[in-house]
Amino acid sequence: MIIDEIDSQIIALLKEAPRSTHRSLAQAMQLSEPNVAARVSRLEELGILRVMAVVDMHAVGYEHVAVFGIRIADRYPDDVAADLVDLPETMSVNCTFGRFQLVCILLARDKQHLTELLDQRIGAIPGVQDLESCLVLDVRLMRCDLGKLSLFKDQKLSHLPDDHTIFDELDLGVIEALQENGRMSFREVGRRLSAPEATVRSRIGRLEQLGAVRVVAVTDTDSLMPGIAPAWIALSVRGGALDAVASRLCKVAEAYVVLTAIGRFNVVALLALPSRQELLDLVTRSIAPLRGVQQLEIWEIVRSYKHDLRITTRLF
């Protein structure tokens, strides 16, 4: 067993209060502080847990979200995905079975930027035969406390955007320090940035009050749910039923992303079930029969290349 009941309790406490000290965790669990510290370090070293700052996309100048699928010709999907991973605007890149070989989430500053990305940058990647995009109208659900931490650890991520942002240089320095380790003390952050501890504390408090930054405890889906069956589902829903269908999907425990959009499909969701059979049962028995659903497709994820946890479309 990778984790035991005590580890699970520590994770649960950090989900509620991510910046909890080892001392406060030990007091809450009636354990010794060295024991708790060793367990937290082990969870972090195994890539099961990471406490980090996440940033609302609007705070760094992004206004639009799009989900797009790519059909590939004359090139291996891994190679096309590698080019997409290098784009700082891609939040996630997945290889899927179904209509598309790749399905991605993209951030854009404005509609012109979105058009340039889809047409001139992504459309021009060798191997991209054609792509189909859905412009997101509303992010109904976007969990930022779960992800593929192994991907995030291995990727060489670019710095946060600094040309269309509400943050100044000190803000960005504080955020990047807390994205490295969200439980880093304000004193240590200040030492790194040559700034007073009180200034660092004040900056983080202000950014949290603005809803621009939040520190979260992220757990690794692969470690805690081995054999997981993730998939995108895309729904075409007739007028008048859109809100009800999206609301129903948000209540599904296994839903991690729920979006309403303009395009061939007007509801797109990411689900992750313990097995393919349970995924099929949920979709066919609980989602497809929903009133208003006219068409449904499943894009089963067989490989993930990118999951950038630093920027989220919605802070809860």
- What CATH number should be reported for the domain holding residue 21? 1.10.10.10
Same-domain status, 33 and 119: no
In this structure, the answer to whether residues 17 and 125 fall within a common structural domain is no
pLDDT range class, residue 117, cuts 50, 70, 90 = very high
Instruction: Please report whether residue 53 resides in a domain.
Output: no
pTM above 0.85, yes or no: yes
SS3 156: coil
pLDDT band at 239 (very low <50, low <70, confident <90, very high): confident
What's the whole-number average pLDDT of the chain?
92
Q: Pairing mode, if any, of strands 311-312 and 255-262?
A: unpaired
Specify the pLDDT at position 161: 73
Residue 303 domain flag: yes
For tokens 């859905």, what's the residue?
134
Q: Give CA–CA dist 84/102, Å, rounded.
A: 10
Residue 178 lies in a domain: no
Give yes or no: residues 239 and 140 share one domain: yes
195 domain-assigned: no
Cβ proximity of 153 and 168 under 8 Å: no
Asked whether the predicted pLDDT for residue 153 surpasses 70, the reply is: no
What is the per-residue pLDDT across 32-69, written as a single tens digit (0 to 9) for each?
Answer: 999 999 999 999 999 999 999 999 999 989 999 999 99
Do 33 and 124 reside in the same domain of the chain? no
Residue 316 has pLDDT above 70, yes or no: no
**The amino acid at 37:** A
Sheet holding 49-56, edge to edge: 146-147, 213-220, 49-56, 311-312
> Minimum mean pLDDT among 80-94, 139-153, 239-253: which range?
139-153
Query: Pick the residue with more confidence: 310 or 290?
Result: 290
Residue 159 has pLDDT above 80, yes or no: no
| Domain co-membership, 143 together with 233 | yes
Q: How confident is the model at residue 230, as a pLDDT?
A: 93
Q: What is the CATH number of the domain that holds 122?
A: 3.30.70.3460
Please tell me whether residues 126 and 68 are part of one structural domain.
yes
Helix (H, G, I), strand (E, B) or coil at 93: strand
Distances (CA, A) of 1 to 26, 68, 224: 22, 38, 10
Total number of domains in the chain: 2
pLDDT band at 164 (very low <50, low <70, confident <90, very high): confident
Q: What is the pLDDT of residue 166?
A: 85
Tell me if 180 is assigned to some domain: no
- 39 shares its domain with 65: no
Same domain, 16 and 125: no
Q: Please determine, for residue 278, whether its predicted confidence score (pLDDT) is greater than 80.
A: yes
Range of the domain at 27: 5-46
Do residue 18 and residue 115 come from a single domain?
Answer: no
In the predicted model, what is the mean pLDDT of residues 141-170? 78
* Residue 178, both tokens: 């807390």
Q: What is the pLDDT of residue 314?
A: 66
**pLDDT at position 157, please?**
59
Tell whether 31 and 74 lie within a shared domain: no
Residues linked to residue 105 through DSSP beta bridges, in sequence order: 67, 92
Give the separation between CA 143 and CA 126, rounded to whole angstroms: 32
